[in-house]
Amino acid sequence: MTTNDDDATRDAPERARRGVEILHDPMLNKGTAFTEAERDALGLRGLLPPRAVSPEIQALRVLENYRRKTSDLERYLFLAALQDRNERLFLRTLIDNIESMLGVVYTPTVGEACKLFGHIFSRPRGLYVTARDRGRVREVLANWPRRDVSVIVLTDGERILGLGDLGANGMGIPIGKLNLYSALGGIDPARSLPILLDAGTDNRSLREDPFYLGLDRERLRGDAYDSLVEELMDAIAERFPRALVQFEDFATHNAFALLERYGPSRRVFNDDIQGTAAVTLAAILASSRLSWRRLEDERLLFVGAGGAAGGIARLFVAALERRGVAHHEALARCWLVDSQGLVVSSRAPLPPHKALFAHDHVFLSRLDEIVRALRPTVLVGVSGVAGAFTRTAIEAMAGCHERPLVLALSNPTSSSECTPEDAYRWSSGRAIVATGSPFEPVVLDGVTHVPGQCNNCYVFPGVGLGVVASGAARVTEEMFLAAARALAAKTPDDRLAHGCLFARVAEIRNVSVAIAAAVVRTALEEQLTSESIPDDVEAWLRSRLFSPEYRELA
């Protein structure tokens, strides 16, 4: 994203570079697309093959080599290598082919890449702040060459997707998220920063792996962990005062604690809690055009009772309250199932995020029994347990409602609570289905069903764009409610005709602008920004999107 900042760190280094220095800077390197004039002016003559080619030919070459790869992991590595050489060509390729490449640069392939991170590591990207850096975190952050950072994605690697504690291997997640911020949200990649907080790992097999690149120690806990995070957050506020910080893939107890600690006063949000909540609420809102249920008629049953479930439930409650439903009545529409079974009040003591949705009811353990007893309209899977949605449970959902909504949201694909094909078959084609990872359309009895991808990539790039553009001091619940409504409104009728709740992945960049506009308007309404913003917010935002087109360097 462009700004009016006169930051000396932005352009002066670029003007000073020549020759191989330019070729080794991925934000400046154009490879064979440098013109004859640029080659002379920048000292590149002889350092490149003699024929200058167009960016279009470069993109075709990339696709030709990409398609030669025989696995998604190989494609991931190929694109990562391209990004290390030529960031603009990488982003242009990703934007132009987002439908086919999204699952390669992010879920589900990024999960496999994280598991193997130490084995496939080639070039550092981002910052590593470790437990050994206590007392000097500011010095570590000062090593980053730019101060005009717009977006930071921060993880400690303890709960990567549905894969658990991957320690320093979790750096693949912030890198992947920020690629989507640029491709789908128009954030300048030079102003993005992935940070891995290495507080150790309790994954013994990782620590024993000679290729593991993180600290060889168990995780910090308690006050020692909290003080390290505090030092990091204070250093970020000092070094990068305008940056939005996205918390990513923290364990549930830390995810809620960090959000509660820093959310009220700083420009932060947790994508696993709030981003997941917004995209799921959007799915529920869009599904009303198929089920003809009002939001007030919905009853949610969550399989999985961690941060994602808590975030979705809280935002759903907030949405109901905005429609006049009393708080206690809204809470009663949300039920949780954890590894033991139905979360009920008689199971006390419970952690706060479970206790809020623990109601008076007989304890039940089998999912199909729970469905028949509670008659939910929406079944939400956030458990990370493959196959958690059993045939009998889906049949029970279809027995209760004509158009049940089945959301199997766990990533990667191997952790999905059920496949769309199973959900359609077990409900005789009546279920409305969305999943966290991409799945192919399903043909059942001659009818084509298209499962929506209920993935945070529909929400966080737009929220980030809106917060950064507006300079909002905080990220609020109202912003995520606005994002959900904006996303649901973007689902076209032709997609709904096949049961799909979301716009095409290829349209996410346009969707992000609509979401960002809703966020900007919310920031204005909540008096969280002093920016002068024109009436045509969407046009203003589009004018500020980062473009991957090459810039003239001579």
The dihedrals phi and psi of 192, each to the nearest 5 degrees, come to -110, 150
**Is residue 65 domain-shared with residue 191, that is, in the same domain?**
yes
Per-residue pLDDT reduced to its tens digit, 287-321: 999 999 999 999 999 999 988 999 999 999 999 99
**Is residue 168 domain-shared with residue 305, that is, in the same domain?**
no
**If you write DSSP's letter for every residue of 105-136 in order, what string do you get?**
HSTTHHHHHHHTHHHH--S--SEEEEGGGTT-
| pLDDT score for 16 | 67
**Is residue 315 domain-shared with residue 435, that is, in the same domain?**
yes
Is residue 149, in this structure, part of any structural domain at all? yes
**Is residue 303 domain-shared with residue 212, that is, in the same domain?**
no
Is residue 260, in this structure, part of any structural domain at all? no
Which residue among 30, 177, 354, 490 is the active-site one?
Answer: 177
224: CATH: 3.40.50.10380
Query: Is there a contact between 428 and 450 (Cβ–Cβ < 8 Å)?
Result: no
Which among 381, 420, 409, 389 has a CA at the least distance from the CA of 500? 420
Which among 466, 509, 462 has a CA at the least distance from the CA of 98? 509
Active site residue 458: no
Active site residue 106: yes
| pLDDT score for 17 | 84
Query: Is there a contact between 29 and 85 (Cβ–Cβ < 8 Å)?
Result: yes
**Is residue 178 domain-shared with residue 231, that is, in the same domain?**
yes
Query: Is there a contact between 464 and 246 (Cβ–Cβ < 8 Å)?
Result: yes
283: CATH: 3.40.50.720
Which residue among 30, 66, 76, 106 is the active-site one?
Answer: 106
Q: Which long-range contacts (CB under 8 A, 24 or more apart) does 252-260 make?
A: 252/159, 252/306, 252/307, 252/310, 252/353, 253/351, 254/156, 254/158, 254/225, 255/159, 255/307, 256/307, 256/310, 256/352, 256/353, 258/229
Is residue 47, in this structure, part of any structural domain at all? no
Intervals of the chain under pLDDT 50: 1-14
Strand runs labelled E in 383-425:
405-408
Q: What is the pTM of this model?
A: 0.93
- Take residue 346 and report the two structure tokens written for it: 């008689």
Is residue 4, in this structure, part of any structural domain at all? no
Is residue 362, in this structure, part of any structural domain at all? yes
Total domains in the chain come to 2
Torsion sign, CA atoms 337, 341, 345, 349? negative
User: CB neighbours of 237 closer than 8 A, spacing ≥ 6?
Assistant: 266
**Is residue 290 domain-shared with residue 392, that is, in the same domain?**
yes
Is residue 551, in this structure, part of any structural domain at all? no
For residue 291, give the 3-state DSSP assignment: helix
Q: Domain end: 417, 435, 456, which one?
A: 456
**If you write DSSP's letter for every residue of 219-272 in order, what string do you get?**
PP-HHHHHHHHHHHHHHHHHHSTT-EEEE-S--HHHHHHHHHHHTTTSSEEEII
Q: Domain end: 403, 424, 456, which one?
A: 456
**Is residue 197 domain-shared with residue 282, that is, in the same domain?**
no
**Is residue 173 domain-shared with residue 119, that is, in the same domain?**
yes
- 8-state DSSP, 407: E
**Is residue 448 domain-shared with residue 383, that is, in the same domain?**
yes
Q: Domain end: 411, 429, 456, which one?
A: 456
Is residue 466, in this structure, part of any structural domain at all? no
**Is residue 227 domain-shared with residue 303, that is, in the same domain?**
no
| pLDDT score for 47 | 97
Residue type for position 159:
R
**Is residue 242 domain-shared with residue 280, that is, in the same domain?**
no
- Take residue 39 and report the two structure tokens written for it: 């080659």
Which residues form the domain of 381?
A: 274-456
Distances (CA, A) of 371 to 304, 317, 398, 418, 545: 14, 20, 10, 16, 46
Is residue 196, in this structure, part of any structural domain at all? yes
**Is residue 342 domain-shared with residue 282, that is, in the same domain?**
yes
